[in-house]
Structure 1
């Protein structure tokens, strides 16, 4: 049975439409035939009943002999007394036996005979009226032919038998063509997507000009392909940049080790080994940053734990006493957010590292709250008195492995991942990190949604990441 079922949407839609129309047509046909026969039979019965009641009134008044033998619309009639004797009959029933036993009580009954006293192939509707007369109880039988009813039934049934299949064929053809036209763009989309590989993500599916669900599907598919293409470009760029950043310290490290192996003077070994250790530390830092980026990309949404953002920022600032450039902090209290204490501390650390790397004499950090239509927002600002960030580069500085001209020297440290990590961590907490206007130096602003209600509680990272 499963093999006999249609397998395509087009075939299933056509079969469904045909079945629905066939069921509706069948019900309508039976209803039409029933109503038609009921109306015509009722009309025939009304004529027969009128004639039967007329004859019964004549019999009750003793004027039965005055009845005319020719009655309009009547096939036959017969008047029978209580003893079963035929008192009067239509000429075509002269000499016939009584049509039926005489009913015991006065009244009127109607019934349809498939074979009447006159024979023939048509049914007959018979009305019998029993009444009291001066000569006793008599019964009047009046019958009329249902040939018009049978003819109408036959004609209607023949018309339905011919027109029904034609209608179903028309429905099937129209549904098949309309469904084919509607699904044509879907098949074009499927064929185009089937031909897209990871090497040609620039291809897009055709968008039909119908502005319907299929067009919206095509637009959504193209948007998805845009994201896939962008992700592929970022991935290839990330791999290339990571390879480049790893190759340089590895090359320097190998050179230092080769020199240390070639030098025979033990007094030079500490200097060579110290340089090698610095390159190893740089490699470790770069690998830790890459691992953190991978964990951020694969991390689940933050657990609903609450924490005191002011305490997190305060701990990060106090851990930097003795740095080359001091950090002046102004922190508002009672600001609770939801997220990872470890990762939010990393956001603050990366922003302070970036500010101290380019600051001349001071770094300012402020933490406050501002209100908005969507609720209160925690605002963390880090500013320095360095060269600042040109307006055209305020988005590029958050790209991975991006270093501006003044930051290209590796003596300053960093591989261009600090701000990228900070922005990804802020976005993972439902916030933003932007570079904004400042009268001096650079100004980086983090905005995080405030967790309203309750007290901040220590948070345990849901992903189990404890550190690098």
Structure 2
């Protein structure tokens, strides 16, 4: 998609897309710096000229004011002198545009401005003109006094010379600064992207050799790349763990499926060799047992696969007391009696099908190993300041040693003595219970029954519905 998007643009965009990140950052930073240098140079020249011209105007204004003061006092000198530095000439003209006074060296016959320019100057305009005797540029400022006009002439070419020198310095120094900036940017970007290159090489090594004992290098600087490497390594750890669990799960599932399939094949082969004389009713019964084992195993595998794929269970109010009563009624003809004692109006937020499977798995497990009875209780309570529901399923069977009670929640784990493949289940019932309960925000654990009682107690704690 990205390639087709770039190809639809002109060649500059395609050329830009082919450049490395280092080249792009260097070119972009250099271009922005060049723009900043050019803008700064132009602003500097403009402001410098403004400041120099303002100094000239200030000096000319002071001279004009001093000479105008002489004429106001009644003195009518024919020769006037500039009172500030930087003044080229001074002329005083009357209303008929005749020069009546001038500074030494100034023209005493012809005004420096023509008639049109004098009219503009008398209105307050400051004029820039070319000198008639040299190549200099002159700036003329006028001040009116009693029908006379004082013209103060300054040489503005010195300002232009200063700006010309400054502009040449900018033309020489600017490219040098841009070049140094480009080289520095390239070096800094290369140094900054070195950890990224290391991450790329590490990713290539992982792609070639696999995740086992392979992780991305973490740079020493605690910057964004360091945090990225740490995050990616954490992600790789999770992927590695998930892959290992998947391999283990597939291996265990294949092993579990092999046993009933092998039994089915042996029974059918024996029956085939015996021929018509074989007891087909007995063979069918034995085959049905293995088929039932296969069916339970496949259902449990599908349940685990759905839970691994699902992000969160469905949420709706579930009357746990009604659910327990309904499920217990289905065990009326079980090998041992199943009794229920529940609090009324016990509601939790969750998936009815998931909670139903939790209860079925716990009851199947308890009924399978109980000697005389199974007891189910549902109680409301408090835990750490919040309302909870405690669901317990107790049997009076052989129980489980404390050291084994956590391991039975591992997939396909069985206790070798009493709970084996023949008398036990698929080894997935309790792991399914644990995953479903955790998905509902609860917990499950196996404990001893009350003091003096034989057997095992499975205790599930779920958050009670706030309503």
TM-score, with length taken from structure 1: 0.87
> 1:61-91: CA deviations, max 9, x gaps?
4423264456542101111111122112234
2: distance between equivalents of 1:436 and 1:229? 33
Q: For residue 402 of structure 1, report the CA deviation from its aligned partner.
A: 0.8
Contact (CA 8 Å) 2:80, 2:101: kept in 1 or not? Answer: no
1:336-415 superposed matches below 5 A: 336-371=347-382, 375-415=386-426
Contact (CA 8 Å) 2:393, 2:457: kept in 1 or not? Answer: yes
> 1:333-359: CA deviations, max 9, x gaps?
223223321221111111112222233
> 1:335-386: CA deviations, max 9, x gaps?
3223321221111111112222233333332223344568533332223333
The residue number in structure 2 matching 1:262 is 273
Structure 1 residue matching 2:312: 3-state secondary structure:
coil
Q: Give the 3 Å change call, closer, same or farther, for CA 408–327 of structure 1 in structure 2.
A: closer
- Indicate yes or no: 2:313 matched with 1:302: yes
**Alignment match of 1:417 (pick from 422, 425, 428):** 428
Contact (CA 8 Å) 2:79, 2:103: kept in 1 or not? Answer: no
Q: Give the 3 Å change call, closer, same or farther, for CA 178–348 of structure 1 in structure 2.
A: same
Q: For residue 8 of structure 1, report the CA deviation from its aligned partner.
A: 3.3
The residue number in structure 2 matching 1:40 is 52
> 1:34-80: CA deviations, max 9, x gaps?
22222221111111111112222223344232644565421011111
1:22-171 superposed matches below 5 A: 22-65=34-77, 67-69=79-81, 72-73=84-85, 74-100=87-113, 101=115, 109-121=124-136, 123-132=137-146, 137-171=147-181
1: distance between equivalents of 2:330 and 2:425? 19
2: distance between equivalents of 1:90 and 1:400? 112
Q: For residue 2 of structure 1, report the CA deviation from its aligned partner.
A: 0.4
**Alignment match of 2:298 (pick from 259, 272, 287):** 287
Q: For residue 141 of structure 1, report the CA deviation from its aligned partner.
A: 0.8
- Indicate yes or no: 2:218 matched with 1:207: yes
TM-score, with length taken from structure 2: 0.87
Contact (CA 8 Å) 1:106, 1:130: kept in 2 or not? Answer: no
The residue number in structure 1 matching 2:259 is 248
Contact (CA 8 Å) 2:29, 2:182: kept in 1 or not? Answer: yes
Structure 1: state its 5+ residue gaps: 454-468
Structure 1 residue matching 2:412: 3-state secondary structure:
coil
Q: For residue 270 of structure 1, report the CA deviation from its aligned partner.
A: 1.7
Structure 2: state its 5+ residue gaps: 1-11
Q: For residue 229 of structure 1, report the CA deviation from its aligned partner.
A: 1.4
The residue number in structure 1 matching 2:238 is 227
1: distance between equivalents of 2:245 and 2:121? 101
The residue number in structure 2 matching 1:448 is 462
Structure 1 residue matching 2:228: 3-state secondary structure:
helix
Contact (CA 8 Å) 1:397, 1:403: kept in 2 or not? Answer: yes
Contact (CA 8 Å) 2:388, 2:462: kept in 1 or not? Answer: yes
Q: Give the 3 Å change call, closer, same or farther, for CA 217–416 of structure 1 in structure 2.
A: same
Contact (CA 8 Å) 1:108, 1:127: kept in 2 or not? Answer: no
Structure 1 residue matching 2:206: 3-state secondary structure:
coil
- Indicate yes or no: 2:198 matched with 1:188: yes
2: distance between equivalents of 1:274 and 1:360? 26
Structure 2 residue matching 1:211: 3-state secondary structure:
coil
Contact (CA 8 Å) 1:14, 1:172: kept in 2 or not? Answer: yes
Deviates more, 1:302-311 or 1:193-202: 193-202
1: distance between equivalents of 2:82 and 2:311? 99
2: distance between equivalents of 1:145 and 1:385? 116
The residue number in structure 2 matching 1:457 is none
Deviates more, 1:160-169 or 1:219-228: 160-169
Deviates more, 1:101-110 or 1:395-404: 101-110
Q: For residue 96 of structure 1, report the CA deviation from its aligned partner.
A: 4.5
2: distance between equivalents of 1:373 and 1:115? 95
Structure 2 residue matching 1:154: 3-state secondary structure:
helix
Contact (CA 8 Å) 1:106, 1:131: kept in 2 or not? Answer: no
1: distance between equivalents of 2:204 and 2:107? 89
Contact (CA 8 Å) 1:326, 1:361: kept in 2 or not? Answer: yes
- Alignment: residue pair count: 448
Contact (CA 8 Å) 1:14, 1:175: kept in 2 or not? Answer: yes
1: distance between equivalents of 2:385 and 2:315? 18
Q: For residue 170 of structure 1, report the CA deviation from its aligned partner.
A: 2.6
Q: Give the 3 Å change call, closer, same or farther, for CA 9–447 of structure 1 in structure 2.
A: farther
| Higher RCO (CA 8 Å, separation ≥ 6 residues) | 1
Q: Give the 3 Å change call, closer, same or farther, for CA 175–64 of structure 1 in structure 2.
A: same
Deviates more, 1:85-94 or 1:277-286: 85-94
1: distance between equivalents of 2:166 and 2:387? 76
